[in-house]
Amino acid sequence: MAASIPGIHHVTCITGDVQKCVDFYVGVLGLRFVKKSINQDLPDTYHIYFGDYLGTPGTAMTFFGWPTWPKQRAGSGQITTVSFQVPAGSLGFWSNRLKGLGVDHRMVSRFDADAIVLHDADGIEVELVAQAANDRWTPWPDSPVDAEHAIHGFHSVTMTLAEMAATFNLLTSVMGFRMVTQEGNRTRFETGAGGPHSILDVIESPEGPVGEESIGTVHHVAWRTPDPENQKVWRDTLLTAGRNVTPVIDRWYFKSIYYREPGGVLFEIATDGPGFTVDEPPEKLGTTLSLPPWFQVRRDQLDEILPPIVVPTTATTGAHQGVVNQHERGH
Ligand code: ZN
């Protein structure tokens, strides 16, 4: 039996404009730009990664840069909301910060927590949930957001399905999730130790539009597994349960398997290691075009094709109240 899934590994989305995407996730949300790489299946396009200081599994929000894809068609069969955890008591800070940066947002209360709902540069629905528990998170000292308010990685993802029964069965009978609560058409599941980082919400929406792979949508969610041995057991378990699972694919920063859950959402199970420091030291993460060894021969060509990316620094992000606070406290 494989070790149970501890929680979310990463979430991968589609952006139509990598620069605006970087400006939002670094300049507004204060995540670190931890890796500039390519989509291994479409290697003339970017795969960029944001996260905590190290891009620790559970913090990595990633994007394919596909400017020619159709525009946002979010709907059933997709992850429709990506929720990050922020410390309880931080929503006032975040609301002021977003207001100062001209980002529309609203407050919601759901189950046992308050949250801010906003949209990223491509229109993806993002939440900041005031419920932080991720002690595996490493703060990025140069973030425009002070560590006391910073995002601690993922809280949960929400997927919208036309019909939930078969997915419910896969989650609870095969993947080790348990149903914890329900509110209207929203059902909450948890895996591993439970709590923020391990939460999956499912919204059943038979009438809603069907989602399509497009700019401003989530491409897939990856779940964590500690190592290749456990990943192999998961692969066998899922095949036995009738899922069409890919072979193990080496993504260089982790190893991955992929399959669709019955509602159509693409799931990945990714190993925790080796991680983003496999080809850059921690202090240099995201500063060069990182390519797996088998793509190195194409480096010159890719450097020419891929548009430059400018990562905002604390000097360019404007209302970086956190930095001011740090200085006031004499850090
Ligand atoms: Zn992935």
Per DSSP, 266 falls in state: E
* pLDDT at site 57: 97
- 73 Cα: distance to centroid of ligand 1 (angstroms): 20
- pLDDT tens per residue, range 157-172: 999 999 999 999 999 9
**pLDDT band, very low/low/confident/very high, at 315 (cuts 50, 70, 90):** low
H helix count then E strand count, the chain:
6, 16
- 329 Cα: distance to centroid of ligand 1 (angstroms): 40
* pLDDT at site 112: 87
Closest CA to 144 of 287, 315, 330: 315
In a domain, 311, yes or no: no
Whether 312 has a pLDDT exceeding 70, the answer reads: yes
- 45 Cα: distance to centroid of ligand 1 (angstroms): 15
In a domain, 309, yes or no: no
- pLDDT tens per residue, range 163-222: 999 999 999 999 999 999 999 999 999 999 999 999 999 999 999 899 999 999 999 999
* pLDDT at site 3: 86
* pLDDT at site 133: 85
- pLDDT tens per residue, range 25-50: 999 999 999 999 999 999 999 999 99
In a domain, 36, yes or no: yes
In a domain, 325, yes or no: no
Mean pLDDT of the chain: 94
Closest CA to 108 of 14, 177, 225, 201: 201
In a domain, 302, yes or no: no
Contacts made by residues 123-127, CB under 8 angstroms, sequence distance 24+: 123/72, 123/74, 123/216, 124/13, 124/74, 124/82, 124/216, 124/217, 124/218, 125/74, 125/80, 125/81, 125/82, 126/29, 126/81, 126/82, 126/83, 126/84, 127/81, 127/82, 127/83, 127/84, 127/155
Q: How far is CA 199 from CA 141, 175, 295, in A?
A: 28, 13, 35
- 258 Cα: distance to centroid of ligand 1 (angstroms): 8
- 263 Cα: distance to centroid of ligand 1 (angstroms): 18
Whether 322 has a pLDDT exceeding 70, the answer reads: no
- 321 Cα: distance to centroid of ligand 1 (angstroms): 33
Structural domain span for residue 103: 8-278
* pLDDT at site 316: 67
Whether 311 has a pLDDT exceeding 70, the answer reads: yes
* pLDDT at site 2: 85
Ranges 133-142, 183-192, 236-245, 262-271: which has the least confidence: 133-142
In a domain, 329, yes or no: no
- 11 Cα: distance to centroid of ligand 1 (angstroms): 7
Q: What's the number of domains the chain is made of?
A: 1
- 267 Cα: distance to centroid of ligand 1 (angstroms): 8
CATH at 213 = 3.10.180.10
- 220 Cα: distance to centroid of ligand 1 (angstroms): 6
Sheet holding 125-130, edge to edge: 105-110, 113-119, 125-130, 78-86, 154-161, 199-204, 186-190, 178-183
Whether 252 has a pLDDT exceeding 80, the answer reads: yes
- 35 Cα: distance to centroid of ligand 1 (angstroms): 14
Whether 330 has a pLDDT exceeding 80, the answer reads: no
- Which comes out higher in pLDDT, residue 318 or 321? 318
Q: For residues 175 and 1, what is the distance between their CA atoms, to the nearest angstrom? A: 11
**pLDDT band, very low/low/confident/very high, at 239 (cuts 50, 70, 90):** very high
In a domain, 200, yes or no: yes
* pLDDT at site 319: 43
In a domain, 298, yes or no: no
